[in-house]
Structure 1
Amino acid sequence: MNPIEQFDQSKSINIAGLGNDDNVQKSAIQFMLDSAPYQYTYNFTWLGRPIIQYPQDIIALQELIWKVQPDLIVETGIAHGGSLIFSASMLELNAICGGCQDAEVLGLDIDIRTHNREAIESHPMFKRISMIQGSSIDPEIIEQVKAKASGKQKILVFLDSNHTHDHVLAELEAYAPLVSVGSYCVVFDTIIEDLPDNMFSDRPWGVGNNPKTAVWEYLKTHPEFEIDTNIQNKLLITVAPDGYLKRL
């Protein structure tokens, strides 16, 4: 076994160990609970725009974008636009390294606020970004996304808008089929199911009604997808446990 194979084998053993270690899993959840009052995920930016994600998940997405080499990333939920800027910048790096030269990211949001739209459109990475305003589960919006995806060979999907069970399940039904074989549909905020219900008293979602319950429901009838637990095990701190779905 050469040194690279030894390194990869050691890494696989460590990741499996993290996934099986109840104490370290509980510690990760406790960190999330302890840092939540300080809006931890709101404190980071990507190339100047708020991204509102855990740094661990950002690293995981970078790995996926490099691995898949998509020519289209579809994202539901735009907010301040940091995630769109991140995806576009990763696609730019892929292109520099010999990947798809015209890869792009498409963002959907029911309400793209004027100040956010202006900041996104004035960013250097906007050259790889397009946006659609409207509900991600509106049939007309879905058809626009399908038209954008037509002819694309490798597609990644990130779902991060309304976090209710019904909405996420409808998004999965609409957009997961666009995902190319070997690529991923990443469903964010599945962690809601694992946190105290009183954390979401001002929201229409909570324990029993969230992205994770939608994922579980979707997978019952879609064996073409499986949860890549290797990703959540190595991250430990992630908003998407059971949410990294790989298309087989």
Structure 2
Amino acid sequence: MKFEDEVAGRIGANGKNAKLQSDARALMDSSIRAGYSYNFSWLGRPIIQYPQDIVAMQEIIWRVQPDLIIETGIAHGGSLVFSAAMLELNAACGGPNDAKVLGIDIDIRAHNRAAIEAHPMFKRISMIEGSSVATEVVEEVRRHAAGKCSVLVCLDSNHTHAHVLAELRAYAPLVTIGSYCVVFDTIVEDLPSDLFPDRPWGPGDNPKTAVAEFMASTSDFEIDRQRDDQLLISVAPTGYLKRTR
């Protein structure tokens, strides 16, 4: 049996392993309470992601070979730097030489902007300050995406149902066939409401509920269930949306 077949078999078994699934849910609950995702950085910038999702994005970026990655939500810029570093590696291995990352955030704080602009990977990064769902911002992003061969989208800004649904409607159409729209923090739906006492989102109003409404209205995407079974520990269950048509 090929190694790839063994991996596929293990991943498939994960989805049927009730104890493993239960243990993973318990770990997500306790680790989110502990602020676990804030413990990591990428090339010196805080990335605020789980290592499993970072590895998943690496696999996707290598497979898709995007010449544009669109990211909503910048924070400290670690994810932008990560994506730019992956594009740099792709280029070194024969991928697109001019691939770029475009980040959008309603508030790019001055110290974060300065650190991102001073980073060696900034040569592949552009940023837009403004609401990701504002008409003028969406139009600017569309101009960046025009003529690109392969586009990957990551949504990780305001996590309310309405905002994420608006982002999906604006940016999912830019995703090229075979690539992904990754919706982060769908895990909110699966966690106790007391984890979000000072947030406008929570169970019933979050990225996962937005994904459900979006998927009910389109046949262009499918949820990558194999990715969920592979990761187990992830802030984006049912959030890896692959464009198939």
TM-score range, shorter chain: over 0.9
Pairing 1:166–2:158 present: no
* Structure 1 stretches lacking a partner, 5+ long: none
Pairing 1:217–2:213 present: yes
In structure 2, the residue matched to 1:233 is: 229
Contact kept, 8 Å, 2:180 with 2:241, in 1: the verdict is yes
1:13, distance to aligned residue in structure 2 (A) = 1.1
Q: Deviations over 1:151-201 (max 9, x none)?
A: 101000000000000000000000000000000000000000011111112
**Range moving further from structure 2, 88-97 or 196-205:** 196-205
The within-5 A match list for 1:20-59 is 20-59=16-55
* Structure 2 stretches lacking a partner, 5+ long: none
In structure 2, the residue matched to 1:15 is: 11
Partner SS, residue 232 of structure 1 = helix
In structure 2, the residue matched to 1:86 is: 82
Counterpart CA distance in 1 for 2:221 and 2:30 is 33
Pairing 1:74–2:70 present: yes
Number of residue pairs matched by the alignment? 244
Pairing 1:128–2:132 present: no
Contact kept, 8 Å, 2:103 with 2:125, in 1: the verdict is yes
Taking only the aligned residue pairs, the percentage that are identical comes to 64
Structure 1 letter corresponding to 2:52: Q
Counterpart CA distance in 2 for 1:131 and 1:25 is 38
1:119, distance to aligned residue in structure 2 (A) = 0.2
Pairing 1:195–2:184 present: no
In structure 2, the residue matched to 1:178 is: 174
Contact kept, 8 Å, 2:104 with 2:129, in 1: the verdict is yes
**Range moving further from structure 2, 24-33 or 87-96:** 24-33
RMSD, aligned CA: 0.7
Counterpart CA distance in 2 for 1:98 and 1:115 is 34
1:75, distance to aligned residue in structure 2 (A) = 0.1
Counterpart CA distance in 2 for 1:31 and 1:200 is 17
Counterpart CA distance in 2 for 1:20 and 1:244 is 19
Counterpart CA distance in 1 for 2:49 and 2:220 is 27
Pairing 1:145–2:141 present: yes
Pairing 1:108–2:110 present: no
Q: Which runs of 4+ in 1 moved over 6 A?
A: none
Partner SS, residue 185 of structure 1 = strand
Structure 2 letter corresponding to 1:25: Q
Normalising to structure 1: TM-score of the pair?
0.97
1:37, distance to aligned residue in structure 2 (A) = 3.0
Structure 1 letter corresponding to 2:148: K
Contact kept, 8 Å, 2:33 with 2:195, in 1: the verdict is no
